[in-house]
Structure 1
Amino acid sequence: MKLFFALLLILPALPAKAAETLPYFTGFEPLRAQTPAPQILVLLFSQPECVYCDLVRGDFLLPIHRKQQSELIVRELKVPGAGMIKTGDHQPETPSTFAQRYGIKFFPSVLMLGLDGMALGEPLVGISSRDFYGYYLDQAIEQALMHTQP
């Protein structure tokens, strides 16, 4: 009985809600169908139970996603993951196969992609410094946006 009351005392200290997530990437076609269509996809390749993935998602990508900028869209792909990715020009792929196509081997990795599936720069791999990651991410987004300009 004492254990029960002790647990009740610490219950309020636990997080009140589940961690916020990014929309799951299912393919390029749904993104191209949006009006207006975004110019670039900021794609987080993550793994389950990855604390660094949680850090990149929560501290850097969710704030960008919440801004809802028309020129970019943020999505997440868990590797390995359930479901298939519909890429349009290829047969549906597993998340692992899709990640391999872009050379993603370490997690978290953030890659900027055009809606045609073309990589618009090198992926940001891992997070070595929380202080500089935002700068590196901003630079990668700016570089990707420059690739989409006529």
Structure 2
Amino acid sequence: MSAAWRAWRRREWVLGAGLAWALPGAFAADGELPVPASMADALAAALARREPLVVMASLVGCPFCRIVREHYLLPAWRDGAAIVQIDFRDPRSVRDWEGRATTQGALVKTLGVSVAPTVMFFGRGGREVAERLSGTYISDFYGAYLEQRLEQARAAVRS
């Protein structure tokens, strides 16, 4: 095993261990983003690292959601961005910003999301700190739009 491979695996393990600590019960399967047990806890963990919490509202089977998740958000998550996913129709329990039990689907409605995928950026107090990315844009530009919103959200969190 080469030194570069060992370093990469160590980095992946450290990132995974850090996320496991930050988002209890939210391990991501291959090709999936972590699912939060608590939005407030996920936000607190992100803010402790001086990062915004990026939340993707997705829909099972949505091909556009898969593209955004696999080509844009998973690489950013692997690079250390605080990203979680909630689903329009998922009945699994999640605690909202105030710690109340709800479902992922109900949380999506509470957030006023009507288009899949929608990517949101949260800062202190559960307040959105950058414009949402709703739906998909021309694929050549989606990465630029995402990076612009992420930088805006980071600046808001770090100010």
Q: Would you tell me which structure has more helix in proportion to its own residues?
A: 2
Q: Which has the larger radius of gyration?
A: 1
Q: Give the Cα separation in 2 of the matches to 1:119 and 1:110.
A: 11
Counterpart contact for 2:129–2:152, Cα < 8 Å: yes
* Matching residue of 1:86: 95
- Residue of structure 1 aligned with 2:69, choices 57, 62, 65: 57
| Unmatched tracts of structure 2, length 5 or more | 1-28
* Matching residue of 1:66: 78
| 1:1-150 matched pairs, under 5 angstroms | 20-31=31-42, 32-33=44-45, 36-68=48-80, 72-89=81-98, 91-114=100-123, 116-150=125-159
Counterpart contact for 1:41–1:115, Cα < 8 Å: no
Q: Give the Cα separation in 1 of the matches to 2:72 and 2:108.
A: 21
% of aligned pairs identical?
26
* CA separation of 1:126 and 1:74: change in aligned 2, threshold 3 A: same
More relative contact order, 1 or 2 (CA 8 Å, 6+ apart): 1
Shift of 1:90: 5.1
| Unmatched tracts of structure 1, length 5 or more | 1-17
Compute the RMSD of aligned alpha carbons.
Answer: 2.2
Q: Give the Cα separation in 1 of the matches to 2:129 and 2:46.
A: 20
- 1:67-91 CA distance string (max 9 Å, x none): 12xxx40111111102222125252
Shift of 1:20: 1.3
Question: TM-score, normalised on structure 2?
Answer: 0.72
Q: Which runs of 4+ in 1 moved over 2 A?
A: 28-39
